[in-house]
Amino acid sequence: MTLVTTGVVVLDCAEPEKLAEFYKELLGAEEVDAHAGRVEIRAADGFRLALRRDVNATVPSWPRPENSLQAHVEFVVDDVHDLDAVERRIVSLGGRRLETGDPSGPTEERGYADPAGHSFTVRRGTPTAPKQG
DSSP 15-67: -HHHHHHHHHHHHT-EEEEEETTEEEEE-TTS-EEEEEE-TT-----TTSGGG
Domain map (residue ranges) of the chain: 1-56, 59-133
Q: How far apart are the first and last CA of the chain?
A: 37
Position 127 pLDDT exceeds 80: no
Range 46-74 average pLDDT: 78
Domain 59-133 grouped into CATH 3.30.70.260: no
Range 119-123 average pLDDT: 87
User: pLDDT (tens digit, 9 = 90+) per residue, 16-27?
Assistant: 999 999 999 999
β-pairing verdict for 96-98 and 38-42: unpaired
Domain 1-56 grouped into CATH 3.30.720.120: yes
Range 101-110 average pLDDT: 63
Closest CA to 55 of 40, 73, 67, 37: 37
Position 129 pLDDT exceeds 70: no
Position 66 pLDDT exceeds 70: no
Sorting pLDDT into bands at 50, 70 and 90, what band is 128? very low
Sorting pLDDT into bands at 50, 70 and 90, what band is 103? low
